[in-house]
Amino acid sequence: MKKTLVLVFHPSLNGQSHVNKALADAAGELANVIVRDEYALYPDGRIDVKAEQAAVEAADRIVFQFPLYWFSSPALLKEWEDEVLEHGWAYGSEGHAFEGKEFAVAVSTGSPESKYQPEGDNKFTIDQVLVPFEGTANHINATWVKPFVTFASFGITDEALAKAVEDYKAFLTK
């Protein structure tokens, strides 16, 4: 069974989060899945690069889980990429850390899927919004996996959230 690392980037996972908290809790109960609450690990924003690299090296599949903020990620995720994805480790002629590993994002959005369409309010599909992550996966020679998306998080019903949780468990154990 693949070893999966879920890096959760939510600034208030144990406070304001509803969707990501439920998904992270469910992920944490799965065998062969390790969940790291990155904002809790690094409340001052100073990332332990070696610890993060070791966590990646121990996994077969890496998942960034986060709420979509301004068509992008919460700031710590960007900081994580800038700090952890070092030349000579993640990319460059000596950088092979992600080779043979799968890389995915699990993102939640406030807007419904109908707005993430060319004719919708947001103009772009979620795959288009997530191009920077797919580009990063390509650049570090990881295998890009189709994103797991929970749309319409605002006021999500208990039923829809329970379905998202079940779908996420299946996604993580595939």
Residue 49 vs 75, nearer CB to ligand FMN: 75
Contact positions vs ligand FMN (CB under 6 A): 10, 16-20, 67-71, 108-111, 153
- Let me know: does 103 contact 65? Beta carbons within 8 Å: no
Residue 13 vs 56, nearer CB to ligand FMN: 13
- Name residues whose C-beta falls within 8 Å of residue 148's C-beta, 6 or more positions apart in sequence: 63, 104, 105, 106, 107, 167, 168, 171
Residue 93 in tokens = 């002629």
Helix (H) or strand (E) holding 34: strand 33-37
Residue 62 vs 68, nearer CB to ligand FMN: 68
Residue 67 Cβ vs ligand FMN, minimum distance, rounded to whole Å: 3
Residue 108 Cβ vs ligand FMN, minimum distance, rounded to whole Å: 3
Q: Which amino acid is at 63?
A: V
- Let me know: does 101 contact 60? Beta carbons within 8 Å: yes
Residue 69 Cβ vs ligand FMN, minimum distance, rounded to whole Å: 4
- Given CA atoms 1, 133, 51, 74 in this order, what sign does their dihedral have? negative
Residue 4 vs 17, nearer CB to ligand FMN: 17
Cβ neighbours of 139 (radius 10 Å): 13
Residue 139 Cβ vs ligand FMN, minimum distance, rounded to whole Å: 24
Residue 92 Cβ vs ligand FMN, minimum distance, rounded to whole Å: 32
Residue 69 vs 91, nearer CB to ligand FMN: 69
- Let me know: does 30 contact 170? Beta carbons within 8 Å: no
